[in-house]
Amino acid sequence: MHVEAIKMRRFRFIALLAASFIGVLAALQVDHRLHPSSSNSIPTGSLSQLEPVPVDYTIPASPSGVDFRVAARKVLPSVVSVDRFERQIVMGYYEDRQIERETGTGSGVIMSDDGLIVTNNHVVNGADRVRVRTNDKRSFEATVVGADPTYDIAVLRINATNIKPIETGDSDKVEVGQWAVAVGNPLGYSGTVSVGVVSSLGRSLRANDEMEGSESYLVGAIQTDAAINPGNSGGALTDTDGRLIGINSAIASTSGGSIGIGFAIPVNRVRRIVSDIVKYSHPRDAVLGVHIDPRDDGRLQLANFREYLKRYTNNAEPPTTGLLVRAVNDVGPAQKVGLQPADVLLEIDGNALAESIDLRKALADKRPGDSVKLKVWSKGATKEISLTLGEAASH
Whole-prediction pTM: 0.76
Is position 233 annotated as part of the catalytic site?
yes
User: Residue 45 domain-assigned?
Assistant: no
3-state helix, strand, coil in the chain (%, to 5): 25, 35, 40
Q: Are residues 133 and 173 in the same domain?
A: no
Q: Are residues 137 and 103 in the same domain?
A: yes
pLDDT above 70 (res 65): no
pLDDT at 29: 41
Domain final residue, candidates 233, 253, 280: 280
Helix locations, the chain, DSSP H? 2-34, 69-75, 121-124, 267-280, 298-304, 306-312, 333-336, 356-363
State the average pLDDT over residues 80-107: 87
Confidence of residue 178 (pLDDT cuts 50, 70, 90): very high
Confidence of residue 230 (pLDDT cuts 50, 70, 90): very high
User: Residue 7 domain-assigned?
Assistant: no
> How many other C-beta atoms are found inside a 10 Å radius of the C-beta of residue 378?
17
- Supply the mean pLDDT for the chain: 81
Q: In terms of pLDDT, which residue wins out, 18 or 80?
A: 80
Q: Are residues 171 and 259 in the same domain?
A: yes
> How many other C-beta atoms are found inside a 10 Å radius of the C-beta of residue 54?
6
CB proximity list for 14: less than 8 A, separation 6 or greater: none
Which CATH number characterizes residue 97's domain?
A: 2.40.10.10
CB 236 within 8 A of CB 184: yes
Q: Are residues 118 and 178 in the same domain?
A: no
| Separation CA 72–CA 123 (nearest Å) | 23
| Separation CA 382–CA 243 (nearest Å) | 45
Domain containing 313 equals 286-391
Is position 96 annotated as part of the catalytic site?
no
User: Residue 35 domain-assigned?
Assistant: no
pLDDT at 89: 81
User: Residue 55 domain-assigned?
Assistant: no
User: Residue 9 domain-assigned?
Assistant: no
Of the given ranges (21-25, 101-105, 274-278, 312-316), which has the lowest mean pLDDT? 21-25
107, 171, 190, 233: the catalytic one is 233
CA angle, 298 then 304 then 305, to 5°? 90
Domain final residue, candidates 99, 124, 157: 157
Positive or negative: CA dihedral 254, 258, 263, 265:
positive
Domain final residue, candidates 138, 157, 176: 157
State the average pLDDT over residues 56-61: 47
Confidence of residue 64 (pLDDT cuts 50, 70, 90): low
- For 183, the 3-state DSSP assignment is strand
User: Residue 66 domain-assigned?
Assistant: no
**In sequence order, what are the beta bridge partners of 382?**
377
Q: How far is CA 245 from CA 126, 218, 238, 260, 375, in A?
A: 27, 15, 5, 18, 32
Q: Are residues 148 and 171 in the same domain?
A: no
pLDDT above 70 (res 267): yes
Q: Which of 88-92, 217-221, 225-229 has the highest average model confidence (pLDDT)?
A: 225-229
Q: What is the 3-state secondary structure (H, E, C) of 137-179?
A: CCEEEEEEEEEECCCCEEEEECCCCCCCCCEECCHHHCCCCCE
Q: Are residues 146 and 173 in the same domain?
A: no
| Separation CA 146–CA 279 (nearest Å) | 10
Is position 152 annotated as part of the catalytic site?
yes
| Separation CA 13–CA 175 (nearest Å) | 81
Q: Are residues 185 and 99 in the same domain?
A: no
State the average pLDDT over residues 368-375: 94
> How many other C-beta atoms are found inside a 10 Å radius of the C-beta of residue 79?
28
User: Residue 383 domain-assigned?
Assistant: yes
CB 280 within 8 A of CB 148: no
- Structural domains in the chain (count): 3
78, 107, 148, 152: the catalytic one is 152
**In sequence order, what are the beta bridge partners of 246?**
237, 266
Q: In terms of pLDDT, which residue wins out, 267 or 311?
A: 267
User: Residue 269 domain-assigned?
Assistant: yes
| Separation CA 91–CA 199 (nearest Å) | 49
Positive or negative: CA dihedral 88, 91, 96, 97:
negative
CB 299 within 8 A of CB 354: yes
Q: In terms of pLDDT, which residue wins out, 80 or 214?
A: 80
| Separation CA 256–CA 251 (nearest Å) | 8
Q: In terms of pLDDT, which residue wins out, 3 or 213?
A: 3
Q: In terms of pLDDT, which residue wins out, 359 or 300?
A: 359
State the average pLDDT over residues 83-103: 84
List pLDDT tens digits, range 269-295.
999 999 999 999 889 999 999 988 766
Chain Cα centroid distance, residue 292:
29
pLDDT at 292: 84
Strands 323-324 and 390-391: unpaired
CB proximity list for 230: less than 8 A, separation 6 or greater: 186, 187, 256, 257
81, 122, 276, 365: the catalytic one is 122
Which CATH number characterizes residue 334's domain?
A: 2.30.42.10
Q: Are residues 189 and 268 in the same domain?
A: yes
List pLDDT tens digits, range 334-364.
999 999 888 889 999 999 998 888 888 899 8
pLDDT at 298: 60
Confidence of residue 154 (pLDDT cuts 50, 70, 90): very high
**In sequence order, what are the beta bridge partners of 339?**
none
Confidence of residue 375 (pLDDT cuts 50, 70, 90): very high
Q: Are residues 238 and 258 in the same domain?
A: yes
Q: Are residues 245 and 345 in the same domain?
A: no
Q: Are residues 134 and 237 in the same domain?
A: no
pLDDT above 60 (res 172): yes
| Separation CA 395–CA 383 (nearest Å) | 33
State the average pLDDT over residues 144-170: 95
State the average pLDDT over residues 11-26: 50
Q: Are residues 311 and 386 in the same domain?
A: yes
